[in-house]
Structure 1
Amino acid sequence: MARDIVIWPHKVLTSATQPVTDFGPALEKLLSEMHEAVIEAKGIGIAANQLGEPLRVALVGREDGTFFEIVNPQVLERSEDITLEEACLSVPEAWEKTPRFKKVKVRYQDKTGQWHEVEAEGRLAHVFQHEIDHLDGHVFVELLSSLKRSLIQERMKKLQKALKRKKD
């Protein structure tokens, strides 16, 4: 059974994550747990802080169903505004049109510490931006109007309470 996904506005989702410095077994274990959680949730990406781990690690889903394992990522370039439907495993059942960029260039380390650069476009660029935002302590609802954001936040607080009661 996969680890629980943290529901927004939990503090771990609103705080910037810490860079990874240890590329050993603990990182391998975390990546494995993240993979299990994203597959179980039928997601296309997940950040470590969505599992309560404040580390700069994420999985970004490719079209073929595999994932980029990105560690300490940085967005180097963004271009061409676009608005796409967006959702989040930490904000269940909230689909909203969200402003993003059509193209991005990202620099990241793999699980061995090697650096890579990738240029992404369309949906892949969208997922990179979404997951890197998580690592910076931001959730997509912050890009919405204050009314939409507050309505979603109320629903998520009710969900958090319901999940807490279910566990107790």
Structure 2
Amino acid sequence: MARDIVIWPNKVLTTPTQPVTDFGDKLTTLLDDMFESLKEAEGIGIAANQVGVPLRCSWVGREDGTFFEIINPRILEQSGEVTLEEGCLSVPDQFAKTPRFHKVKVKYQDRSGAWHELEAEGKLAHVLQHEIGHLDGHVFVELLPQLKRTLILEKMQKLQKALKRRKNQGE
């Protein structure tokens, strides 16, 4: 079941997530719900804290349109600076050229707890850094110049108020 996506600057998005230690049914349900939320929002990645759950797991989209889960990920290596257009489900309708690394090597677990290593470059490396950033308590907006960040913050605060009003009217 799709869950609501949290809007920045909600505290759950700016707090580092906790490692996943239970690879049972609750994790499976969370990952399935996150995937439904991701597909509904037409995103390329989603982290658990974006649906309000402070656990270290995420979905990452490949350029071919397929997705995979990363649990307890760590970036082992990164190289070659690059700037690409970036957006975020928690910062809707806001896009900006964002500095990242062109290549990364990541270690992560899958839903069964098995460890994997992945070397990625280009767009996939960018998405991995974005999602792992979420799990570390960061949003891409933090990488932008102060003025751009402030303008986006004001828009998100207005959006949060509008969503709250809509929710209160619906109850």
| TM-score (structure 2 length as normaliser) | 0.97
Aligned-partner SS, 1:4: coil
Partner of 2:148: 148
CA apart distance, 1:2? 1.8
Q: CA deviation at 1:64?
A: 2.3
Question: SS of the counterpart of 1:153?
Answer: helix
Partner of 2:25: 25
CA drift at 1:90: 0.2
Residues 14-68 of structure 1, C-alpha deviations (whole Å, 9 max, x = no match): 0000000000000000000010000000000000000000000000001222211
Q: What residue identity is the alignment partner of 1:25?
A: D
Q: Once the 2 structures are TM-superposed, how far is the Cα of residue 139 of structure 1 from its aligned partner?
A: 0.1
- Correspondence for 1:111: 111
Partner residue, 1:81:
81
Verify: 1:124 aligned to 2:103, yes or no.
no
Percent identity over the alignment is: 71
Give distance in 1, aligned partners of 2:75 and 2:147: 29
Partner of 1:12: 12
Shift in Å at residue 92 of structure 1? 0.5
What is aligned with 2:71?
A: 71
Distance 1:130 1:70 in 2: 12
Corresponding pairs, count: 168
Q: Supply the distance in 1 between the matched residues of 2:87 and 2:120 (Cα, whole angstroms).
A: 19
1:145: how far off? 0.6
Provide the C-alpha distance between the structure 2 equivalents of 1:104 and 1:44, rounded to a whole number of angstroms: 18
Gaps of 5+ in 1: none
Q: Where does residue 34 of structure 1 map in the other structure? A: 34
Partner amino acid, structure 1, of 2:13: L
TM-score, normalization by structure 1? 0.99
> RMSD in angstroms over aligned alpha carbons?
0.7
Q: How far apart, in 2, do the equivalents of 1:151 and 1:66 lie?
A: 33
Deviations 1:85-135 (A, max 9, x none): 000000011110000000000000000000000000100000000000000
Q: Please list every run of at least 4 consecutive aligned residues from structure 1 whose deviation after the TM superposition is greater than 6 angstroms.
A: none
What code does the residue aligned with 2:52 have? G
Amino acid at match of 1:54: P
Name the SS of the counterpart of 1:6 in structure 2.
coil
